Amino acid sequence: MKKISWLLIFIIVFAWSAIGPKSYFTWFLEVLPAVVALIILACTQKSFPLTPLAYWLILVHAIILMVGGHYTYAEVPFGDLLGTGRNNYDKIGHLAQGFVPALIAREIFIRKSVVLVKKWLSFFVVTTCLSISAFYELIEWWVAELTGDSAEAFLGTQGYIWDTQSDMALALLGAILSIILLSKYHNRQLEDLT
């Protein structure tokens, strides 16, 4: 994907998400990781360019965050995908929270020779993603403690007592699926990159 197309899609979705969101506070909290990712990508594009697959997945994840930020995860219009009565859009976000970072971690670990024994690569990728997911859950808790009721839309638990655990389980599943489904294709892109 061309850089200009990538950036244009990001900017269009970002602008849309910023126009009349359900709550600007929630929007800010949800969109902030996408903006931070954009800044990191801009700063590293020359010194450490990623594979096209990594850039594409980062954009998809950013779009998931921006849609969730616009509506709040509990109120995304198409969120009750399973017909359960609970808006599960946040679960898509948490699956992506494992799926996308797994590929990025894998790319960094391979290109920087972080994991020298190939048999351990998948293990360290998955545990890195699980750590990121757990840390994100801690951030949600800290925001809730600091802001009180105004964080409910950010937390998006919707009364589900196992929300935190299911979020981390989905990130774990996303990381495993990413490795299983994309490793061979990712390896080809890594070869083309070097």
Give the pLDDT confidence of 42-65 residue by residue, as tens digits.
Answer: 999 999 999 999 999 999 999 999
Residue scoring higher pLDDT (81 or 123):
123
Residue 172's Cβ-count burial label (10 Å; 0-12, 13-18, 19+) is: buried
Q: Is the pLDDT of residue 16 over 70?
A: yes
Which pLDDT value is given to residue 194? 75
Band of the pLDDT at 73, cuts 50, 70, 90? Answer: confident
String of b and e for 5-42 (b: at least 16 CB within 10 Å)? ebeeebeebbeebeeebebeebbebbbebbeebbeebe
Give the per-residue pLDDT at 154.
53
Token pair for 91: 């679960």
The SS3 call for residue 78 is coil
pLDDT band at 141 (very low <50, low <70, confident <90, very high): confident
Nearest-CA neighbor of 174 among 73, 68, 121, 102? 102
Distances (CA, A) of 74 to 15, 67, 89, 102: 21, 11, 7, 25
pLDDT of 160 above 70: no
Residue from 140, 160, 137 nearest 26 by CA: 140
What does the mean pLDDT of the chain come to? 89
Q: What is the mean pLDDT of residues 76-96?
A: 80
3-state secondary structure at position 136: helix
Half-sphere exposure of 187 (CA within 13 A, CB side): 7
Which range, 98-112, 128-142, 156-170, has the best average confidence (pLDDT)? 98-112
Give the pLDDT confidence score for residue 44 in this predicted structure: 96
Q: Average the pLDDT over 184-194 and give the result.
A: 93
d(CA 142, CA 115): 32
Q: What percent of the chain has pLDDT over 70?
A: 91
pLDDT for the residue numbered 119: 92
pLDDT tops 60 at residue 156: no
